[in-house]
Structure 1
Amino acid sequence: MNITEVTNYLEELAPLHYAEDFDNVGLLVGNPETIVTGVLVTLDTLEETVNEAIAKKCNLIISFHPIIFSGLKKITGRSYVERVVLKAIQNNIAIYATHTALDNSKNGVSAKMCEVLGLDNTQILIPKKGIIKKLTTFVPVQNAAALSAALFAAGAGNIGNYDQCSFSTEGTGTFRGNESSSPVVGEKGKTHAESETQISVVLESKNETSILNALKKHHPYEEVAYDIVTTENVHQDIGLGMVGELPEEMDAKEFLLFLKKTMQTDCVRHSELLHKKIKKVAVLGGAGSFAIADAKRAGADAYVSADFKYHEFFKAEKNILLADIGHYESEQFTKTLLVDYLKKKISNFAVVLSEKSTNPIYYI
């Protein structure tokens, strides 16, 4: 199995187009055609991570955070990023990163946090925009049913718990082919009017290529008329953060102690304790201060994330408990998520959980 075949499985869980625009995800170092001898899964890729991969005979590192985030103009070993890239190249080790593609996955980072905390009735905290598109095309009436079926088979028309969703109207299409044309109906050089069905279907952007291929393959016309627009609709199953409910409500202090133990952190920075029970909890792995308002709008009693600044704790405004458990701590279980997922998909070589902690922050 080569690297592309392995990463194709990963992209079923976390399609790269789920990633935020600022991010750098996918294969960062290596040849996608390289045959994989073993996979090492880590949160960060450091020099010691590459050493671990060498020792365990793994030539593919699956990392949550991308070691290359912004452009590198030189690779001379002067920074830790350059040293990692150099060592990986010198030892024929590939590096792949998922980052915000996995953050936005329904079964990704925040879902794992919910699982560890035992939250029920979970849903996406900030559903993602720009994922849902609409395809409109025109086809002779007698071909409409067959074309719709082909589009559905390619992944079009899925909305939440429903599939094969479309809207059709009938009208008259006109066209005239030039001397180089080969019209299926009508004659070249003459204006032709045809009874046509206009078909509109929604699609997820990850399926756009396969759906367009199906359209062109199954449409009877020599030239296929269609348009695709990106909608403002949000995708309820794709997005950042999640919100769910504890099995039993807790006092605020009791919840913080539970959080500290369950998320295996040495420190929980939090806002003022509230004189109300904690039942509904919002979570977001990594730096999540931007979502405080979203957690409040969702009606969460507590919001668990990381990297809150001093003034951001004031945003609690006595109606939500903000808990900063640390960046590494909020994402630490992501490694297990990826290992468990890949082991179910791949059995012909080792998928190894990194034993190294890459947390750069220590407490005294």
Structure 2
Amino acid sequence: MTTIRDIANSIEKLAPLNYAEGFDNVGLLVGDYKTEVTGVLVTLDTLENVVDEAIEKNCNLIVSFHPIVFSGLKKINGSNYVERVVIKAIKSNIAIYTMHTALDNSFNGVNAKICDVLGLSNKHILIPQKNTIKKLLTYVPIENADRLRKAMFAKGAGKIGKYDNCSFNVAGFGTYRGGEDSNPTIGTKGVLHTEKEIIIGVIFEKHLEGAILKAMFDNHPYEEVAYEITTIENKHQQIGMGMIGEFENEMKETDFLNFVKKTLHTDCIRHSKLSGKKIKKVAVLGGSGSFAIEDAKRAGADAFISADFKYHEFYKAENQLLITDVGHYESEQFTKNLLVDYLTEKFTNFAIILSDKITNPIYYI
């Protein structure tokens, strides 16, 4: 039996919910994690016709990129499209799960998919996320140090870029005296004990904290484990907003715009003034990306593909790069293909279906 929790756990390996932006609303929005899954419908947005599609195709879980419930609902009486979707989903026993900016911030998420569709290589994160790396220090008898390190490494501790099993170790002496109710595994209750110890230091991604602490407690010999955790200033180079990559061959601005228009199936591209600069290095950011214009400049991008730029923001190009607004939906349209491919590889005992509903609310004439 595969439950919604099983699906969620798999998605969260691709896009840990800890990495969603603070303003976001991610996870299981409607439903019960313990429910057995009969089928999964993957969509960019959950609208009423998408819920109808899920019912028709016997899918009791909708995996939606955008959250249908974004801010708090004070009433649910069907007075707007959000409330109507929630009511219909609950009545029909349809669960709704979303990951939104958690997938935006994933190295293999939304922006990596845009790069792949455009044929960009040498990909790296445009805006690495802050406060995602933590450091753990703990103190363990020398003879137990190797086992403890290996247990924490197995849960993801000690990974730095392309390296793993990374730790820093300092030998010293620890002292302790157990009280009347203690049961020391090394030493004698009530007697001051000195033990040769190793201070083990490892870093880890914040979403792994629970698993790493469990590994530490399960493999540490002491009754009371001394440890400390701090958040470090280092930015995580594989978690963050936007991505930058390169074309194999540079192209003229007009050729670039026509290529993007055709490849992203968009009817309209708004762009900043042409400068005559050749396009080779391109920054991308699915959805509303105007906040990243300066980051794209600093990264040396020749063009920046995103959406929802306001009038005055096009001036910020300043002939340094070509701002390219392809539309919000158009920039994220391939996200549901990414999710279908990912889930189909993980689960084969029921259908993973790509929604055939076009949920773009913007039309062009």
Name the TM tier (shorter chain). over 0.9
User: Residues 164-179 of structure 1 correspond to what in structure 2 (within 5 A)?
Assistant: 164-179=165-180
195-204 or 87-96, which moves further after superposition? 195-204
Partner Cα separation in structure 2 for residue 101 and residue 360 of structure 1 = 23
Q: Which residue number in structure 2 is paired with residue 49 of structure 1?
A: 50
Partner Cα separation in structure 2 for residue 340 and residue 220 of structure 1 = 44
Q: CA deviation at 1:47?
A: 0.6
Q: Which residue number in structure 1 is paired with residue 73 of structure 2?
A: 72
Q: Which residue number in structure 2 is paired with residue 83 of structure 1?
A: 84
Q: Which residue number in structure 2 is paired with residue 188 of structure 1?
A: 189
Q: Is the aligned partner of 1:319 residue 2:325?
A: no
346-355 or 142-151, which moves further after superposition? 142-151
Partner Cα separation in structure 2 for residue 59 and residue 147 of structure 1 = 42
Q: Which residue number in structure 1 is paired with residue 94 of structure 2?
A: 93
Q: CA deviation at 1:188?
A: 2.0
Aligned AA (1:144): A
Q: Which residue number in structure 2 is paired with residue 338 of structure 1?
A: 339
User: Residues 193-232 of structure 1 correspond to what in structure 2 (within 5 A)?
Assistant: 193-232=194-233
How many pairs were matched up? Answer: 364
Partner Cα separation in structure 1 for residue 169 and residue 254 of structure 2 = 57
Aligned AA (2:267): D
Aligned AA (2:56): A
Post-superposition CA distance 1:256-314 (Å, at most 9, x none): 11111111111100000011100000000000000001100100000000000011111
Post-superposition CA distance 1:216-273 (Å, at most 9, x none): 1111110000011111111111111110011211111111111111111111000000
Post-superposition CA distance 1:151-202 (Å, at most 9, x none): 1122211111111100011112111211001112232223222221111001
Q: Is the aligned partner of 1:283 residue 2:284?
A: yes
Partner of 1:303, secondary structure, is strand
Partner Cα separation in structure 1 for residue 149 and residue 46 of structure 2 = 46
Q: Which residue number in structure 1 is paired with residue 296 of structure 2?
A: 295
Q: CA deviation at 1:146?
A: 1.8
Partner Cα separation in structure 2 for residue 150 and residue 337 of structure 1 = 32
Post-superposition CA distance 1:17-66 (Å, at most 9, x none): 11111111111000111111111110000111111111111110000000
Q: Which residue number in structure 2 is paired with residue 4 of structure 1?
A: 5
Partner Cα separation in structure 2 for residue 355 and residue 57 of structure 1 = 15
Partner of 1:20, secondary structure, is coil
Q: Which residue number in structure 2 is paired with residue 136 of structure 1?
A: 137
Partner Cα separation in structure 2 for residue 93 and residue 154 of structure 1 = 33
User: Residues 26-65 of structure 1 correspond to what in structure 2 (within 5 A)?
Assistant: 26-65=27-66
Unaligned segments of structure 1, at least 5 residues: none
Aligned AA (2:235): V
Taking only the aligned residue pairs, the percentage that are identical comes to 66
Q: 4+ runs of 1 displaced by more than 4 Å?
A: none
Partner Cα separation in structure 1 for residue 32 and residue 139 of structure 2 = 42
Partner Cα separation in structure 1 for residue 343 and residue 81 of structure 2 = 28
User: Residues 103-182 of structure 1 correspond to what in structure 2 (within 5 A)?
Assistant: 103-182=104-183
147-156 or 157-166, which moves further after superposition? 147-156
Aligned AA (1:205): K
Partner Cα separation in structure 2 for residue 62 and residue 153 of structure 1 = 30
Aligned AA (1:136): L
Unaligned segments of structure 2, at least 5 residues: none
Partner Cα separation in structure 2 for residue 112 and residue 64 of structure 1 = 14
Aligned AA (2:213): L
